[in-house]
Structure 1
Amino acid sequence: MPRFTPYPRGFVLSPDPIDTQRLPPHYRASWIVDAWHFAHDPIREPALAVDEATGWFVLVHGTCFAVGDEDVADVAPWLLAKCLRSESEFLDALDVLAGRHVVVTGDPTGATVYQDAAGARSLYYSPAARLVASHAHLVQDIAPHPPTPPELGPTTVTATWDLTPWDGILALLPNHRLDLDSWRTQRFFPRRSNAYAQWPVEQRLDLLEALWHRELDALTAAFDDIAVSVTGGSDSRVVLALSRPHLPALKGFTYTARRDDEGNAWTRSLSRDERLVRQLLDIVPMRHEFFVHGDKSAPVGAELTELLRRNSLGNHGRWLIPHYNRSLPGDDVIHLRGNAFEIARGYYGPTRDNDTVDEVRRVFTEKAAQRLADGSRAELTDRQRDHVDSLLERLGYQEELWGYHRLDLFYWEYRCGRWLAEMLNENDVSFDTVMPVNVRAILEILLSFDLEDRAAGVAFAELINRTFPVLNFVGKNDDRNLYEQVRDAHDSGTRSDGSAWLEAGMRVVGEDGTVLEDGVAADQADLQLPLRHFVPGRAAARRIGRPAGPGTLTFRFHSPYVSPLAREKFIYRLRVNGQVLAEVDGAAWAEMSYVTVHNLGAEDTVDVNVAALATMTRPSWSTATRAYLDHLRFTAREADGPVRVATSNPYTQYPVLTDEAGVALRDPGLVSTGPTQTGAGSP
């Protein structure tokens, strides 16, 4: 049933007696080995194992299953046995734990706190108050702290590493443990090179599937109802494919927009999800329900709003909570999500050349610095800079990381360990949530693939192909299914009448025109700026081929992304002989545009490019640059003047070009071209 009590599924831990008057009234409190005061929401009892000879103990609280090759009925005594043998065995055991949980090890004199692999169970601590708790507000309820100094900048979960709105209340991050003697954190992963990188691909995927199926077996045995989020994206598709044997036992849900609400990019994305999911439901044996944004039959209400405000530092989808409560009202419900797959997707653009502390600092600055009125980011404040430098050292980014890319770890710890954890706290009012990929061994396997393969999603496509191949047929974030995508890429009837064509592959150029890469493939598009080149001055270009001779070129151009908030991040340009004759902001227009280039000479070359105007680090920005060119046609005719360019896009600009003396060569939309001319607008 819905948990209309504060901090559901939460806990508090301290070496000192906790003032029970400040605890949620329904929490139960007890002592562990007469040394550690532990209080928790009684919806889930902790598992405790104690070695009477040494006083050593292991406490596990939350959803936790061991999914390695050992048969484990009770996780706490199993972990205790590992711990008593060696730290190495204990840490290896943590690598095969699934779920969302906290693990505490220690004896009457000291203890250490660990999270699940992705930090899905948020953990906050205050060295001054000697408190650890599941929720930042819960620490503040028990031991009030002053606000975090404003000169440290934003303290939202999307803009900081370990800060909270309260000075002295900090977040524990994935891959780190908290020592309750010193109240300091220490990195414990990675602790060796990725062993899976040397395994054959088939063997890696075999192990991943085995770990996943053991986890789903445990979840279906432990819970009456299992819900799964279903979207039109890739992560959701992998969850469905790997969970195929269990699909009849799952209940899927998808949130969507009202039929009359497609007014912005978010609601259009929801509507596309609904269309794709309806295709999936034709082949997936699953109970399913759509939750409609704007459905007033399930209001949030003031009581629930206040409860959610205290439960989470974030605000992801609070309108969904009443829908969850109405659709899945039982106490024994678990919710599956696919988000943590993002850890292995290279979201912050890792390359072989940017595995540096400076690059981590740069990306953090892009995310955390204050946004100015013009949309740019301010420099970090002195306090922020000092804090970041201290964190980079304290979190071990300066140390040997055994071949793991710093930007991968940064995304894992900075993004998933904060934003994702708080999103799950928001859902706790309805049900507990686990991510089946949230097993460190699974994440290690996915991170063992080459950077290029990870950027292309090779492992994910292979997993679908091995387990439920027909799911690869339905488009991922694309209304077209696989056949339609292939058809549209090769059907000369729509691509071209044969008189003009796109030359194979893109060419990526630098600010001075130097070719950085050639023959680059776009992802499901004709033109796209790769994330690794999303820095000012770089552009991806696609040349349009045609027969020799003068004439007129026409084609249709479509860039589906539009957002007023995303202006001045990238730009599309039409060039003749390297001169920019027309350009348009990449986020300005999402409709089809019809382009004419008239009076082309026999030797003139034409290309379309997309150029970066700002440095962007999220893969979604590269996706936003996708563009499509079709209906290419070249009509031979003698030129009757200078080149003329016209488009139906109302946001198109026509730069005025000048000769070497500074004299304008054309009116807007016109230019005299020739192989010897130069223009100032080339990327």
Structure 2
Amino acid sequence: MAGTGSDPDLPGQFILDTTINNIPERWISERIGDWFLGCHPTLPVIRLIDEKGQAAGWLLGYAIDEGGRLLQDKDTLRVNNLIDGGESCEEEFTYRFGGRFLTIFAGSRWPRVYLDPCGSLSAVYCPHCKIVASTTNLIPYDDLTNGRVDLARELGIPYTNAMYPLDLTPRYHIFRLLPNHYLDLSTWQSVRHWPSGPIQGMIDVEKAIGIISAIVRRNIAAVTKSIPTYLCLTGGQDSRMLLACAKDVANQIELLTFSLSDDDVTTIDIAIARQIGKKCRIRHSVLPPREPTPEDLKEWMNRIGFSTGEVRGWQGCTMFRQADPAYARLYGVAGGLGRAFWSREYAMTDTVSPERLLDYCRAPYTRETLEAARQWLDRIPFTNASPIMDLFMLEQRIGCWAGVWPYAYGDDPGFTLFPMCHREVITTMLSLPAGYRRSGNLMRDIIQHEWVELLGWPFSEPIGSLKITLPVRRLWKMAGNVFRNPGSIIGGIGNQRPGGK
């Protein structure tokens, strides 16, 4: 059983503990002072040292430095000012990097854990056990850490796209560390470190496009230099923006598109991606649909500890096995921040309630969930609704969803990475004029700046013969549903009436 020194199948995962007993067999283990780090062999470990060469901690995962280099397993990095500087040195060091990673300062005057800007290498922690881990799987059960059975039942995971709200997890007394927070290993408190106040300044659009595209280009190039790379291309804006920024290394990537049975969205994705690949002479592969096996479904959810809902990814788990595990996968996660995806409907003077936050999570209103939402709202250093919802999207949707599901995949030596995951990219997107962000033009404008020919295809709309065949297919599907359930059309009409049930 995980958490008892056994050898669970949890690739890319880690545990930080005050005892070696909970580290799975055959995992790599290291020690600094009272802290034991255990990592699955597929997870890169970079050693951190202070100015005197003493062990200060670790950087785990796939970090890209300012020079465009993907750090490698067993690298050693020096952290300046740990001895003579202030506590901000840890944050300043961490957010020099892009990629999917976290830092652990176990041998510092300020023992802390920091996530990357998106929380894309997610972490949970148990204060009374004094354990930090990638998922709840690695934390042993005791009388205080049993499952939140009632909440889990109401969320309906894995059969829904619901999310555990904010720092709640499937188990009591185990909490998720959110993006923009560090975990103080001396007090076991999560502390918000960014933003410390309203995000200042209003950046010029052209300047913002230059900053974002340069960092995304650098991150993509760093990955392609190190490992064969899939760019996961859909029909949407965010992945196409990644492709635009990959123009200089297009001959080193392979476009990858997923297919789910009887799914209009992936049908459109495939048609657009196939044409782009052909026109731009980039290799393009489509993973054909495969019925998920019970074993794969169980493994997918077990690896993430049933910590979030992601129906399409879960149902596609057997299909994903057709991809080459030696390839890195690049996804366009975080682009929604640039077009105010969760905040566009809010005026600055609106109020955000705990209940509204829970609605986004598809979570019930319980004493526990409402308290988690209230506490989160109380700790935000501003009251304007629009930036609150931007922050909520970053910390909930990205940190508690996109930071979790990559653990489901056992790629080796491949890995998942979000090229937009960089503090300067996040800050720049959130500093754009509100009207421009709400226009949704940022990704389109970056594409025009980097590779204008990619605007020759619509975003997520049928092309070619699909303009005719998809509507016909939808009508046939609707007719089949009515035939199988004649009462559904009556119920559907009733639901559209005022007061209809």
Range into which the TM-score falls when normalised by the shorter chain: 0.7 to 0.9
Please say if residues 58 and 79 of structure 1, whose CA atoms lie closer than 8 Å, have aligned partners that are also in contact: no
| Pair 562,384 (structure 1): closer, same or farther in 2 beyond 3 Å | farther
SS in structure 1 at match of 2:458: coil
The CA distance in 2 between the partners of 1:56 and 1:467, in whole Å, is: 42
Residue 427 (structure 2) aligns with: 444
- TM-score (structure 1 length as normaliser): 0.61
Amino acid at match of 1:48: R
Q: Per-residue deviation at 1:305?
A: 3.7
Which 5+ residue runs of structure 1 have no aligned equivalent? Answer: 262-266, 371-377, 486-557, 565-586, 590-649, 656-679
Residue 259 (structure 2) aligns with: 256
Alignment equivalent of 2:354, drawn from 361, 365, 374: 361
More helix by share: 2
More strand by share: 1
Q: Per-residue deviation at 1:216?
A: 2.0
Is 1:171–2:176 an aligned residue pair? yes
SS in structure 1 at match of 2:114: strand
| Pair 219,561 (structure 1): closer, same or farther in 2 beyond 3 Å | farther
From the CA coordinates, give the structure whose radius of gyration is larger: 1
Alignment equivalent of 1:338, drawn from 332, 337, 356: 332
Which 5+ residue runs of structure 2 have no aligned equivalent? Answer: 1-6, 479-487
Q: Per-residue deviation at 1:138?
A: 1.6
Q: Per-residue deviation at 1:26?
A: 2.4
Q: Per-residue deviation at 1:72?
A: 9.1
Q: Per-residue deviation at 1:124?
A: 0.6
The CA distance in 1 between the partners of 2:142 and 2:222, in whole Å, is: 36
Q: Per-residue deviation at 1:327?
A: 3.4
SS in structure 2 at match of 1:335: strand
Q: Per-residue deviation at 1:390?
A: 2.9
Q: How does 1:380-419 map to 2 (within 5 A)?
A: 380-393=365-378, 396-397=379-380, 399-400=381-382, 405-419=387-401
| Pair 362,433 (structure 1): closer, same or farther in 2 beyond 3 Å | same
Residue 284 (structure 2) aligns with: 288
Alignment equivalent of 1:307, drawn from 288, 299, 302: 299
Please say if residues 119 and 178 of structure 2, whose CA atoms lie closer than 8 Å, have aligned partners that are also in contact: yes
Residue 35 (structure 1) aligns with: 34
Deviations 1:449-478 (A, max 9, x none): 222221222221110001111111201011
The CA distance in 1 between the partners of 2:446 and 2:283, in whole Å, is: 23
Please say if residues 190 and 401 of structure 1, whose CA atoms lie closer than 8 Å, have aligned partners that are also in contact: no
Amino acid at match of 2:446: L
Q: How does 1:461-500 map to 2 (within 5 A)?
A: 461-480=444-463
| Pair 329,123 (structure 1): closer, same or farther in 2 beyond 3 Å | closer
Q: Per-residue deviation at 1:56?
A: 6.3
Deviations 1:363-387 (A, max 9, x none): 21323566xxxxxxx7x23343334
The CA distance in 1 between the partners of 2:271 and 2:247, in whole Å, is: 21
The CA distance in 1 between the partners of 2:352 and 2:145, in whole Å, is: 33
Q: Per-residue deviation at 1:152?
A: 9.3
Percent identity over the alignment? 19
Residue 232 (structure 1) aligns with: 235
The CA distance in 2 between the partners of 1:39 and 1:327, in whole Å, is: 28
Deviations 1:513-556 (A, max 9, x none): xxxxxxxxxxxxxxxxxxxxxxxxxxxxxxxxxxxxxxxxxxxx
SS in structure 2 at match of 1:132: strand
Q: Per-residue deviation at 1:423?
A: 1.8
| Pair 81,69 (structure 1): closer, same or farther in 2 beyond 3 Å | farther
Deviations 1:97-121 (A, max 9, x none): 1111110124266510011111111
The CA distance in 2 between the partners of 1:276 and 1:144, in whole Å, is: 51
SS in structure 2 at match of 1:367: helix
Q: Per-residue deviation at 1:80?
A: 0.9
Count of matched residue positions in the alignment of Structure 1 and Structure 2: 466
Please say if residues 193 and 403 of structure 1, whose CA atoms lie closer than 8 Å, have aligned partners that are also in contact: no
Please say if residues 149 and 167 of structure 1, whose CA atoms lie closer than 8 Å, have aligned partners that are also in contact: no
Please say if residues 152 and 381 of structure 1, whose CA atoms lie closer than 8 Å, have aligned partners that are also in contact: no
The CA distance in 2 between the partners of 1:408 and 1:234, in whole Å, is: 19
SS in structure 1 at match of 2:111: strand
Amino acid at match of 2:179: P
Amino acid at match of 1:347: F
The CA distance in 2 between the partners of 1:166 and 1:140, in whole Å, is: 11
- TM-score (structure 2 length as normaliser): 0.81
Q: Per-residue deviation at 1:193?
A: 5.4
Q: Per-residue deviation at 1:337?
A: 0.3
The CA distance in 1 between the partners of 2:225 and 2:70, in whole Å, is: 15
Q: Per-residue deviation at 1:37?
A: 0.7
After superposing the two structures, state which structure 1 stretch, 102-111 or 407-416, moved more: 102-111
SS in structure 1 at match of 2:404: helix
The CA distance in 1 between the partners of 2:216 and 2:55, in whole Å, is: 31
| Pair 401,54 (structure 1): closer, same or farther in 2 beyond 3 Å | farther
Deviations 1:219-277 (A, max 9, x none): 12222x1112111111111111111111111111112245xx3xxxxx11221222222
Q: Per-residue deviation at 1:561?
A: 11
Amino acid at match of 1:385: L
Amino acid at match of 1:245: D
Q: Per-residue deviation at 1:408?
A: 0.2
| Pair 140,283 (structure 1): closer, same or farther in 2 beyond 3 Å | farther
The CA distance in 2 between the partners of 1:343 and 1:652, in whole Å, is: 37
After superposing the two structures, state which structure 1 stretch, 142-151 or 197-206, moved more: 142-151
The CA distance in 1 between the partners of 2:346 and 2:267, in whole Å, is: 38
Residue 11 (structure 1) aligns with: 14
Q: How does 1:189-268 map to 2 (within 5 A)?
A: 189-191=194-196, 194=199, 197-223=201-227, 225-257=228-260, 261=262, 267-268=263-264
| Pair 284,318 (structure 1): closer, same or farther in 2 beyond 3 Å | farther
| Pair 30,435 (structure 1): closer, same or farther in 2 beyond 3 Å | same
| Pair 48,54 (structure 1): closer, same or farther in 2 beyond 3 Å | closer
Is 1:277–2:281 an aligned residue pair? no
Please say if residues 272 and 477 of structure 1, whose CA atoms lie closer than 8 Å, have aligned partners that are also in contact: yes
The CA distance in 2 between the partners of 1:55 and 1:355, in whole Å, is: 50
Please say if residues 153 and 384 of structure 1, whose CA atoms lie closer than 8 Å, have aligned partners that are also in contact: no
The alignment's C-alpha RMSD in Å is: 3.9
| Pair 349,255 (structure 1): closer, same or farther in 2 beyond 3 Å | same
After superposing the two structures, state which structure 1 stretch, 71-80 or 384-393, moved more: 71-80
The CA distance in 1 between the partners of 2:143 and 2:98, in whole Å, is: 32
Amino acid at match of 1:334: A
Residue 66 (structure 1) aligns with: 65
